Amino acid sequence: MLSFFFDGKDLSQIADRQSAFLLKSAGFPVDVDELLAPSLAHKKLAPILPGHFNRRMTLLKEVLLASGLTPAQTEVWVSFEESFRGQVVSPQ
């Protein structure tokens, strides 16, 4: 459901940019020349629909819990990322 968004893309670069963006958004100092707002970073992709975003959030929860975060820590992280929904999901 999500893999086509990443076909032919440099996954390590995507992960690095997303990590830097999230850290900066959470108030941590980040030494990256250019970070785009989510709406601009996703502009050239196929439309991201609510179902795509929902699936990503489900996968995120699973990964965070499997990585040892507590349910409470996971909910904080997921809520933080949920705050970007309006900037990422395409208007229908």
pLDDT at residue number 92: 73
pLDDT at residue number 41: 87
CATH architecture of 11-88: Orthogonal Bundle (1.10)
* 24 pLDDT more than 80: yes
Q: Cα separation of 42 and 84, whole Å?
A: 12
Global pTM value: 0.85
State pLDDT tens for residues 31-73. Answer: 877 788 888 888 888 999 999 999 999 999 999 999 999 999 9
Structural domain boundaries in the chain: 11-88
pLDDT at residue number 31: 83
* Residue 24 and residue 35 in contact, taking contact as beta carbons nearer than 8 Å: yes
Question: CB neighbours of 47 closer than 8 A, spacing ≥ 6?
Answer: 90
Q: Cα separation of 50 and 35, whole Å?
A: 24
* 83 pLDDT more than 90: yes
